[in-house]
A and B are shown apart, each in its own frame.
Chain A
Amino acid sequence: MEEHFFFENNGERIFGVLYRPSEELQTGMVFCHPFAEERQEAHRVLVSSARRLADAGYAVLRFDYRGTGDSDGEFGDYGVNDRLSDIFKAMEVLKEKTGVRKVGLLGLRLGATLAILVAKEKSDVKFLVLWAPIVSPKAYLHQFLRANLVVQMAAYKAIKTTRDELIRQLLEGKSVNVEGYYLSGKFYKEAIQVDLLRNCTIVSVCGLVIQVSGEETAPDPLLVKLAEDGLKHPKSEYCRIDEELFWLEKKYYVPDSKSLFDKTLQWIRSMG
């Protein structure tokens, strides 16, 4: 059963969908969606996965951070800490509405990064499922800024503002338009402080780190290290799944990911 509703955080409305299994509830999960347009591209995969997890007996809460999707606010008005606050609130809402005792987080891309940060703060996060996590948001955002340059080239046939200048503007607290999203200085400055393998202390939570790769590629050493050293738990695991990079614009319409889902479900069940 699905319940679509709004809940509030700091007086602003957050859109959420609660998926209730028909069986007795014991374990629940909060989904942490990825950043900017990756959320749009991956949306239906997350919807399908939530529905299938509910069919398998798990309560799931999906939601949009403030400034994204159907929630209140503008994208550029919120920083990393605001998003963490939204996840804390979503966990509370899940517990209140369902009474589940055990809550895990499932995050995709930057959503997975946020999930780890939440687990560091909140001892009631019992497990983490991390799909293609971003280890270094700084490098990720610098890559993201390239889209601004592409638009400049297409519109003006020249680069009027270089990437270094864009970074300088962000560090001064200004916002920069990237692909229709206003990346705020606040978000940027908070995000570049995060590096899952350097300045983020080890999290003692059981976690599954999944590398999603479109073709047969070598294991990403950063993700292997994240699973081995970052998540200090004997049941933590790294694996690689062959799948379309469904959070990017692609050749295929991808509404679900059976291989990714099956591995996730198998791992969650293995925890008991």
Chain B
Amino acid sequence: MESLVSFKNGQLELRGILHVPNCTQDKVGVILLCPGYKHRVGQRRLYVQIARRLRDAGFYVLRYDFHGLGESDGEIRRCLFGDFWDFVQTGGFVSDTRSAVDFFRDVAKMEKLILMGLCGGAITGIIEAAKDSRVDGLVLLNVPVMAQHATRDWFIDRMPPGLADSLFSAYVKRLLSVQSWLRFLTFKTEYRVLWKSITSKFSRRYVRSSRSGPENEECDDAVNPHFVRSFRSYCSSKRPLLFIFSGNDKQKWAFEAEFQQRYLHPGNPYEDFYSIFVIDRANHSFTLQEWRDALLEKTVTWLQDHLNGGTGTEHGQTEASRNGEMQDEEKIVTR
């Protein structure tokens, strides 16, 4: 069953859809947080699919619109996307999330509660969860870790190893393509990208970014200090966290190069509380059904393992294997 719900954050009415399972043993609820400026439906209707699948597995799911987005009250003025990004990255929608938690706990009477979100929804979720002990678990999809909007140029300049590998393999595949050589010889190739990918691939030297600003007391790098603080605080409280990344997404490459290498070294104090799952080849919003299936299967299995929720109708059958490159990481290979 899907019903329309609304609740207030101050004077603003926030509106959403509550997905109610047919039968369930526990009242375990998942709140889906808007991915950036995309509203409760999600990119490519991803959130509708997630909500319906989790409901079928026995979970309550709330997907709602932040203020100024979708069907909710409030206004967000026209702005550069980078400015919108800054607003999200610094917790601009955290009070809306707190209101949703209030609603889910106090009105819908959930016994356990998980925050889940893609991209901007993921960063909003971890900032809120770090401050709110009523949140029992976190599922973060392609969480962005950079303090500022990392543009295409930033990625080309920095060339994280994951991106270098991806570009390099693409160039190798095109070696026998007449069209590719024509582009190369007629100056249509992006030589800077080609050169950076080759040099980065073979040098394997990656120098993490630095950043200046008033919040440098927390971290002396380009990683979002809100993310670092929230991650530490959340994991210190020994609550479970699942990172899911798309293998072919810039957020994964930035996470590995800028955050994981620095903060998640083997033996770090938080490693018992988080796990990382990578869906090979997938893109940012998991547009292929096989990627979505892998995402949903992993999520349902993880929720059942960590929160004893749902009816257990969708036990995961993921053929996951340990990834040798990174500790605690599982990788599913899709064809």
Q: Interface residues, chain A, CB within 8 Å of chain B? A: 4-6, 13, 17, 37, 40, 43-44, 47, 68-70, 75, 151, 153-158, 177, 179-181, 250-256
| B81 with A177: CB separation less than 8 A | no
Within 8 A of A (CB), among B168-183: 169-170, 173-174
Question: Assuming the A-B contacts A44-B70, A70-B17, A255-B68, are A75 and B77 also in contact, with contact meaning beta carbons closer than 8 angstroms in the complex?
Answer: no
How far, in angstroms, from A49 to B288 measured CA to CA in the complex? 33
Contact of B173 among A40, A158, A251, A255 (CB under 8 A): A158
B289 within 8 A of A: yes
Contact of A251 among B37, B71, B81, B288 (CB under 8 A): B81
How far, in angstroms, from A250 to B81 measured CA to CA in the complex? 8
| A180 with B41: CB separation less than 8 A | no
| A180 with B70: CB separation less than 8 A | no
| A180 with B78: CB separation less than 8 A | no
B68 to chain A, nearest CB (A): 7
- Interchain Cβ contacts under 8 Å between A and B, 22 examples: A4-B4, A4-B71, A40-B43, A43-B39, A69-B48, A70-B41, A75-B45, A154-B283, A155-B282, A158-B173, A180-B43, A180-B292, A181-B45, A251-B80, A251-B81, A252-B80, A253-B37, A253-B76, A253-B80, A255-B76, A255-B78, A256-B78
| A47 with B76: CB separation less than 8 A | no
| B285 with A180: CB separation less than 8 A | yes
Q: Which residues of A contact B2 (CB under 8 A)?
A: 13, 70
Q: Which residues of A contact B39 (CB under 8 A)?
A: 40, 43-44
B158 within 8 A of A: no
Question: Assuming the A-B contacts A4-B15, A68-B45, A156-B281, are A180 and B286 also in contact, with contact meaning beta carbons closer than 8 angstroms in the complex?
Answer: yes
Q: Which residues of B contact A5 (CB under 8 A)?
A: 4
How far, in angstroms, from A250 to B77 measured CA to CA in the complex? 15
How far, in angstroms, from A185 to B66 measured CA to CA in the complex? 36
| A177 with B78: CB separation less than 8 A | no
Contact of B78 among A68, A70, A151, A252 (CB under 8 A): A252
Mark interface residues in B270-288 (1 if CB within 8 Å of A CB, else 0).
0000000000011101111
Q: Which residues of A contact B155 (CB under 8 A)?
A: none
Q: Interface residues, chain B, CB within 8 Å of chain A? A: 2, 4, 6, 15, 17, 37-41, 43-46, 48, 68-71, 75-81, 84, 169-170, 173-174, 248, 281-283, 285-289, 292
| B75 with A255: CB separation less than 8 A | yes
A53 to chain B, nearest CB (A): 16
B261 to chain A, nearest CB (A): 24
B70 to chain A, nearest CB (A): 7
B22 to chain A, nearest CB (A): 16
Q: Which residues of B contact A69 (CB under 8 A)?
A: 41, 45, 48
How far, in angstroms, from A151 to B283 measured CA to CA in the complex? 8
How far, in angstroms, from A250 to B6 measured CA to CA in the complex? 30
Q: For the complex of A and B, list the 5 residue pairs with the smallest distance between their C-beta atoms, beginning with the closest.
A: A180-B44, A180-B287, A157-B173, A155-B281, A157-B170
| A253 with B169: CB separation less than 8 A | no
| A253 with B81: CB separation less than 8 A | yes
Q: 13 more A-B contacts (CB under 8 A) besides A68-B45, A155-B248?
A: A4-B71, A40-B38, A40-B39, A43-B39, A44-B70, A70-B48, A177-B288, A180-B46, A180-B288, A181-B45, A252-B78, A254-B78, A255-B76
Question: Assuming the A-B contacts A40-B43, A251-B80, A253-B76, are A177 and B71 also in contact, with contact meaning beta carbons closer than 8 angstroms in the complex?
Answer: no
| B287 with A151: CB separation less than 8 A | yes
Q: Which residues of A contact B80 (CB under 8 A)?
A: 251-253
A256 to chain B, nearest CB (A): 7
| A253 with B79: CB separation less than 8 A | yes
Contact of A181 among B44, B70, B174, B282 (CB under 8 A): B44
